[in-house]
Structures are given as C-alpha cells and as structure tokens.
Amino acid sequence: MAYMREEAFHELEIHEEDVECLYECKGIYSPVIFHMLHHIIPEAAVVHPISFQRQKLVDSEVYFVRYDQDRFVEWVLFPIIRPVEGSTESHWTLAVANMKTGAMDYYDSARHFYKDQRMEEELEQKLLRAVVTVRDNLPIRAVRSWSWS
C-alpha cells in the first residue's frame, strides 16, 4: 500500500503541505482512491481538482483527468470532499456520470446514499458543468445521445 500511495502522490504532483493536510483529515483518501479508481474501472475518466486543500477542493476550476486513450470512456468519476453539517469533519462523495446516457449517480461516504437523494443544487450544477467540460474537451470516444443545458 505504501508503494501505491507514493506513486499516486508523485503522479498527481502532491506537495508536502497537501500530504500533511490529508493526514490531518484523518485519512489518506485522495491520491490513493484516485489511483485505484483508474485501475479498477479502466473505462472511466477519473476527475479530481488539482488542489487537495479542503477549502479549494470543491471550488476549483482546474481539474486533473486520468483516462485510457485506447478505451471507450463510459464513465466519468468525480471524487469530491464535502463538509459534515454541524461538524469540523469532512467526508467523501463519489459522483458517477454515465457518458452514454448522461445519468449521474452519487455515493456519499457519510450518509451512504445513492441517486435517490439529491446533492445541493450549486454542487450538482458544478459537477454537471465539469462533466460537459470533460465530455467536450478531451479526446475521449463515447456514444452520446444526451445533452445538458
């Protein structure tokens, strides 16, 4: 596991202060899960803001995308951090967009919900814009029969 963590840090150009922040957040989620998602789901483009600092993570307009150019991209995955209401803790939410249908599902690591429950509208709109950016600006191959306005 240590090898995977170091490799992921190097790949994402994680800075020392970001690593310290991750440990302070009681977990080493960010680069490890990011790295694992890419290898577990090779048909996915895995998107993550460049900064792992909590205050910048959701609002970042800069994204790092990892995908296999030799495969059809069927999914776009967004691991994002969210604050826990009434607490100083944070938890992770995984947004999953199907590139063929445009459907978006969510899994929240604290509340354990799926698409039946909605996210905050502002966050959902930001994710939808990011999906469109990924879809329109990367040389990915996918069947698209949908559009978001």
pTM beyond 0.85: the answer is no
Task: Give domain limits for the chain.
Answer: 2-136
Taking only the tens place, the pLDDT of each residue in 35-62 is 566 666 777 777 765 544 444 444 445 5
CB of 43 within 8 A of CB of 142?
Answer: no
Taking only the tens place, the pLDDT of each residue in 30-39 is 555 565 666 6
